[in-house]
Structure 1
Amino acid sequence: MRTVLHCSAGAPDAQRHALANAANLLADETVALSAVAVVFNGDGVEAVRADSSVADDVRGLLARTPEETNAADAPSIEVCACGNSLAGRDIPADELVYGVDVVSSGVGELTRRQADGYAYVKAP
């Protein structure tokens, strides 16, 4: 099973909630996951700035080990940021948390992943 979480919220508490949802999903032994992606767009891209108040949460999610996910085969974990949202806020890619992927558009990425069979979860 593959899941994509979507966060467009600018409030740090909502961004933390989205990241916690991803971490909780990865830790759920009853869900056979092969991939989890979190896509930030709109005001949500502020979460993936290297100096944001939730940057350590982003780093922690990206650094999860197979033992922490409770999965026999560790699922892939991706955090993506909308390139359009970054450009609209004049945020260069080199100011993002290391490991965050910049995608051309957040909604395009969500559409592609859903077409590829990812379950969609709207996080705050």
Structure 2
Amino acid sequence: MGEPVISPSNDTLGRSWDADQGYLQNRNFVKMVSNIGAVNYAPGWATSEIAPSAVYGTAAEMNTAEVSNSNFNVTWEFDVHPDFEYLIRFHFCDIVSNALNQLYFNVYLDSQLVSQDFDLTQLTNALATSVYRDYIVKVT
């Protein structure tokens, strides 16, 4: 999620949502984008109960203008307690592309590839459709 922080009063289930900035390993690698009005809660995909439109309509986009090497990652980092399994929920919404099949994600968890060449528009056949994916990771 790009920004701003979402308070419980702006969430259908009363949750708080933090902005990405505090968790980014290198803030220079991203630029924040917003297109909340474009978010599409299509049948069969994520709903506003899964996450509010501000989660799907804001993003940390790769800032290629600030990085000379185009082969880089946007990495989020946070502390966890070891010896537990964690449910990690990724929220996706292509709010930056102008056409289908332009944005692909390689998703890593703890340096392990969990999804390669993930194309939201191939999955949904539309731009700006809210999608989430759950993964379980054991931290040792």
Structure possessing the higher relative contact order (Cα contacts under 8 Å, 6 or more residues apart): 1
The structure with the greater share of residues assigned to strand is 2
Q: TM-score, normalised by structure 1?
A: 0.31
The structure with the greater share of residues assigned to helix is 1
Q: TM-score, normalised by structure 2?
A: 0.28
